[in-house]
Amino acid sequence: MVSIAFVGAGSVVFTRQLVADILRYPELADARLVLHDIDPERLRVAEGTARQVSRQLGASATVEAYADRRRALDGVDFVVNMIQVGGIDATLKDLEIPARHGLRQTIGDTTGVGGVFRALRTFPVLEGVATDMRELCPQAWLLNYTNPMAMNVWWVSTVAPDLKVAGLCHSVYWTAHDLAELVGVPVGETRYRAAGVNHQAWLLEWDHEGESLYPRLRETIRRDPGLERRVRVEIFRRLGYYPTETSEHSSEYVSWFLRSDEQIERYRLQPLEYVGISRGNVAEFEAARRALAAGEDLALEDGASEYAPQIIHSLVTGTRREVHVNVPNHGLVDNLPQDAVVEVPAEVDGDGLRPVPMGSLPAQCAALNQPYVSVAALTVEAARTGDPRLVRQAVLMDPNASSTLTPAQIWALCDELVSAHGDLLPEPLRALVPAGAL
């Protein structure tokens, strides 16, 4: 029987999907599912959700729920991390405080000021998870879903380099599926590989019957001028490779789109979009709680789109698959910094998970990735050294922030966010740094 721990299981809608995808595999139908969350009510709902999913699918899973993280991690084979440190309140601060300073974000969870402060809140908890795993389940895989993906995996590889860790994201999967539908080709007949950094990887290989699908995509865009008002299409037109995250995400990783009202209107962007998404997530939790209390069945999505269930199944059964993972760059992408976390294909089977070396990215793609990598590197170094200046310097390197705010304004914004997040941040990084200090 395989044992799988879910840390942050109170993200009940995502927990529901992962549990359903896992239990749909006959070989995993008797899995031991161990749920952990620091919120007792969310943990209770997550436990009820997992039990109901097992019943609906006719599985025989063992479901356990613990507020004690160490008890949850003891002896497990896999740890799926999906925590949100500070919850919706901290997320709203990451979005609304920068907006008051004139800095627009759409999602704010990957890079830039929102990503930096989300990472700094998450690192201490992740380090605690890693410490517990080294003692209680040292051979387990840590499968991370928590954003900012690249920074979190980078931090784990810094503080616990002996752990097996992979960051998982569905952006490559859904990009390939959505583009196949757009050009009218069944996705199962396509072959695709992407590489770069999480939420800003590049579809480098995309073929059907041995021929690139890029010419067909260009023709589809030419026939539909409305597509040119999407951020990803504009990036594709200028760089020649399609990025693997949504236009909403992609808009805030560069300096080109959120800097003016005209660009926002042209590319149909919605600053602060994640505020609504976050409140929608709370509403979904409440709906799940009400459904369970009323004895109603929860809706289950069809199909296994997430990588964690696929990886677990392959490692347990030996079934060979190719997935995309986020891992330290140990010879995987030649023209991005080594030890930075990159997103690349990986082969997985009973012998393990093996990232695929992808050589050099197209020069223009690597150049666009570099500021993203620099923000992540400075954030990790800030946490490692406890130097609060590095926090401000990380935000200063962000193209979106630096296209909108002056250095002095970035310093003031960071000071306000430090004060707002308070004890959620590591103690050395709570110091305020005068803008004119040398």
What value does the mean pLDDT of the chain take?
96
Q: The domain spanning residue 88 has which CATH number? A: 3.40.50.720
Q: What is the pLDDT of residue 77?
A: 98
Domain count, the chain: 1
pLDDT band at residue 438 under the 50/70/90 scheme: low
Per-residue confidence (pLDDT) for residue 155, from 0 to 100 = 98
pLDDT bracket for residue 240 (50, 70, 90): very high
- Res. 37 pLDDT band, cuts 50 70 90: very high
Give domain status of residue 41, yes or no. yes
Whole-Å CA distances, 398 to 110, 113, 188, 404, 428: 11, 8, 37, 10, 22
Residue range 105-113: average pLDDT?
Answer: 98
Residue 436 is predicted with a pLDDT of 60
Q: Is residue 284 part of a domain?
A: no
CA atoms within 13 A on the CB side of 244: 28
335 marked among binding-site residues: no
Give the single-character DSSP code of 178.
H
> Which residues, 6+ apart, have CB-to-CB distance to 20 below 8 Å?
53, 57, 300, 301
pTM of the model: 0.97
Q: 152 in a domain, yes or no?
A: yes
Does 199 belong to an annotated binding site? yes
Is 137 annotated as ligand-binding?
A: no
**Domain span holding position 71:** 1-167
Q: How confident is the model at residue 344 (pLDDT cuts 50, 70, 90)?
A: very high
243: preceding bond cis by omega (within 30 degrees): no
How sure is the predictor about 35, in pLDDT bands with cuts at 50, 70 and 90?
Answer: very high
- State the pLDDT at residue 433: 84
Catalytic residues: 170
Report yes or no: 16 and 288 within 8 Å, Cβ to Cβ.
yes
Q: Where are the beta strands (DSSP E) in 308-364?
A: 321-328, 341-349, 352-355
Checking if the pLDDT of 437 tops 70, the result is no
| pLDDT above 60: residue 28 | yes
260: pLDDT strictly greater than 70: yes
Quick one: which of 25, 10, 66 has its CA closest to 306? 25
Does a structural domain hold residue 338?
no
Given its phi and psi angles, is residue 318 left (phi above 0), alpha (psi -120 to 50 degrees) or beta?
left
The pLDDT of residue 305 is 76
In the predicted structure, residue 304 carries a pLDDT above the cut 90: no
Residue 12 has pLDDT above 90, yes or no: no
Measure the CA–CA gap between 4 and 306, rounded to whole angstroms. 15
pLDDT digits (tens, 9 = 90+) for 187-213: 999 999 999 999 999 999 999 999 999
| Residue 434 confidence class, pLDDT cut points 50, 70, 90 | confident
Q: Is 152 annotated as belonging to a binding site?
A: no
- Residue 432: per-residue pLDDT: 86
Residue 393 is assigned to a structural domain of this protein: no
* pLDDT tens, residue by residue, 82-94: 999 999 999 999 9
Is 26 inside a domain boundary? Answer: yes
- Range 312-325 average pLDDT: 98
Q: Is residue 58 part of a domain?
A: yes
322 domain residue, yes or no = no
